[in-house]
Amino acid sequence: MLGLARDEQDMLDGKEGPARQKAMELLVKYAEGLGADRFVDTNNTTVIVGSIPDIKIVEKVVPSLDADEIASRFLLDSDERVVLDRVKAFTTTNATFRDQRYPELQRGGKPHCDLLQKMADYLKRVGVIHLATCTPYQVGNIPMRGEHCAWTESSAVAFCNSVLGARTNIEGLHSSFASAVTGKTPLWGMHLSENRLGKVIVDVEIDMEPIRDWYLMGYYVGSQVGLDIPIYTNISRVPDLTRLMGLCAAGIASGSIVMFHIVGITPEAPTLGAASGNGKNLRVLKFGRKERRIAYERLNHSDSDDVDIVVLGCPHATLERLRAIAGMLEGKRIYKNTRLYVTTCHLTKNLADKQGYTEIITRAGGSVWEDSCGLVLSVDPSTVFACDSAKMANYLPGETGSNNVWFGTTEECIQAALNGKWRGDLK
């Protein structure tokens, strides 16, 4: 039986206005469906701009394209137009936006870009911070260990739980916005300590220096563990931000890893016993050269070594990665028939602009996109892609219609951009 605190009941009764009432009604249905017995306060949410349906669908439901009505219909699941004053929780936006400079290159073209900008303006009006990134922890949204959050974006959720030690489930379009409006989220899943214990030991048998291998490990383990939380052992060096981002992104792309532990490194895993709750008879999974090869071959599937588009920045490129990419491109020129897109958020791009990294990449013939994602590219199904992200490689066929994808290191991708040919290999 779902129990409500006084402030929750007041919102449900409409004492804080119709918008919060609609949000609370939605959350109550959500909590009851999950079997949660109460809510927990949250002051950290992320919401999705770009999951608003295509403008043709929106126009059929809301011909006026009024932002308050669109939000009512598609964010609060309300048949009635309600006007929201301010969200209650500290809230930032996800990366499913569009780079407004290149509407013709992204699905939906300018009409959809304009719609997303309208909704981004709406969200800012009600107090949401427009970070527009799949890596909010890079640019100001950094919850504390143990803090209850309501985040969208699967790889960010894995990072939030695993690396930061905060607590969140993977929230959707409606639940995340309702949590932003009310400051509440159902107490279930990863919010509960007993659900955060590792169940599968991953015995890492190879040196994990290459960034590529962190993607491959996450991708392989994600395909093997189901809903269980893996505990990575025998990792001798502390991974940096890029490696942890890759592990998070790949593990959720191939499976359902919303949390993992690395013994001696991640917040809730000072020891194997702490990570597993001293659990007995834990399943053991090996990750060595054989498993790495299996993951690599699953991600590489193209009949042609001619590369049309190289996509880097999934999750969004850090300033460090932009620096590295610029260093690989300085004084060089991208092949005439190949395009290079590097995606990041506008705040990181601003820093890259100031450091001269964007200029170097642009001078070489590449483009640094802000607030968008390579998965929204509008391309011909015959397009051959190269990328350095297992998540990108996994999703490109379904999102773009192209089954021609190469995955490898950033260096291999840059060489493909310069030569127009894929020459990568797993060594």
CA–CA distance, 119 with 121 (Å, rounded to integer): 5
339 and 287 within one domain: no
pLDDT number for residue 126: 97
Distance CA 77, CA 71 (A): 8
Task: At 185, list the tokens.
Answer: 């989220």
Same domain, yes or no, for 293 and 305? Answer: no
Q: At 46, list the tokens.
A: 């992320």
Task: Assign 128 to helix, strand or coil.
Answer: coil
CA–CA distance, 236 with 231 (Å, rounded to integer): 14
| Token code pair at residue 323 | 């620096």
Mean of the per-residue pLDDT values of the chain: 96
Structure tokens at 269: 């895993």
pLDDT given at position 396? 97
Residue 179 has pLDDT above 80, yes or no: yes
pLDDT exceeds 80 at position 159: yes
Contact 265, 187 (CB under 8 A): no
Residue that finishes a domain, picked among 146, 162, 191: 191
Here the CATH number for the domain that contains residue 388 is 3.30.499.10
Question: What is the structure's pLDDT at 1?
Answer: 85
Radius of gyration (C-alpha) of the chain in whole angstroms:
22
Same domain, 72 and 169: yes
Q: How many residues does the chain have?
A: 427
Mean pLDDT throughout 274-293?
96
Looking at the structure, tell me whether residues 88 and 59 fall in a common domain.
yes
Domain count for the chain, please give it: 3
Residues 140, 280 share a domain: no
Structure letter (DSSP) for residue 267: T
Q: Cα(27)–Cα(40) distance, rounded to whole angstroms? A: 12
Q: What are phi and psi of 151, to 5 degrees?
A: -105, 145
Q: What is the pLDDT of residues 227-254, one digit of tens each?
A: 999 999 999 889 999 999 999 999 999 9
132: left (phi over 0), alpha (psi -120 to 50) or beta: left
Asked, for residue 426, whether it belongs to a domain, the answer is no
- Determine, yes or no, domain membership for 1: no
In a domain, residue 424? The reply is no
Which of 27-41, 92-106, 340-354, 378-392 has the weakest average pLDDT? 92-106
Q: What is the pLDDT of residues 183-238, one digit of tens each?
A: 999 999 999 999 999 999 999 999 999 999 999 999 999 999 999 999 999 998 89
Same domain, 246 and 137: no
In this prediction, residue 292 has a pLDDT band, given cuts at 50, 70 and 90, of: very high
Q: Do both 313 and 333 map to the same domain?
A: yes
pLDDT greater than 90 at residue 165: yes
Give residue-wise pLDDT tens across range 124-140: 999 999 999 999 999 99
Residue 425 forms part of a structural domain: no
pTM of the prediction? 0.96
- Considering the domain architecture, whether residues 64 and 114 belong to the same structural domain is answered as yes
Pairing relationship of beta strands 184-186 and 261-262 according to DSSP bridges: unpaired
What pLDDT digit, counting tens, does each position of 83-125 carry? Answer: 999 999 999 999 878 999 999 999 999 999 999 999 999 999 9
Of 171, 191, 211, at which residue does a domain stop? 191
pLDDT (0 to 100) of residue 99: 94
Rounded Cα distance between 2 and 17, Å, is 22
| CA 176 vs CA 6, 90, 216, 363: distances in Å | 22, 12, 30, 40
pLDDT > 90? residue 167: yes
Domain that holds residue 135: 6-191
Amino acid at 382: S
257 and 379 share one domain: no
Question: Is 201 found in the same domain as 87?
Answer: no
* Gap between the Cα atoms of 210 and 208, Å rounded: 6
Q: What pLDDT does residue 97 have?
A: 84
Q: Are 336 and 305 in contact (CB under 8 A)?
A: no
Q: What is the pLDDT of residue 54?
A: 82
Residue 411 in contact with residue 325, Cβ under 8 Å? Answer: no
Q: Region 15-38: what's the mean pLDDT?
A: 98
Percent of the chain with pLDDT over 70: 100
Give the model confidence (pLDDT) of 314-327 as tens digits: 999 999 999 999 99
pLDDT at residue 55, as a whole number: 86
Angle, CA 178 vertex, CA 64 and CA 87 arms, to 5°: 80
Single residue among 138, 171, 191 that ends a domain in this structure: 191
322 and 282 both lie in a single domain: no
Q: Tell me how far apart the alpha carbons of residues 189 and 227 are, in angstroms, rounded to a whole number.
A: 11
Q: How far apart are CA 176 and CA 321, in angstroms?
A: 30
Could you please report the per-residue DSSP string of 140-153? T--PPTT-B-BB-S
* 59 and 158 housed in the same domain: yes
Question: What secondary structure does DSSP assign to 178-202, as a single string?
Answer: HHHHHSEEES-GGGSGGGGS--EEE
Name which of 386, 384, 392 is nearest 409 in CA terms: 386
3-state secondary structure of 171: coil
345, part of any domain = yes
43-72: pLDDT as tens digits? 999 998 867 788 889 999 999 999 999 999
What is the percent of the chain with per-residue pLDDT over 90, rounded to a whole number? 95
Q: What angle do CA 270, 272, 274 make, to 5 degrees?
A: 60
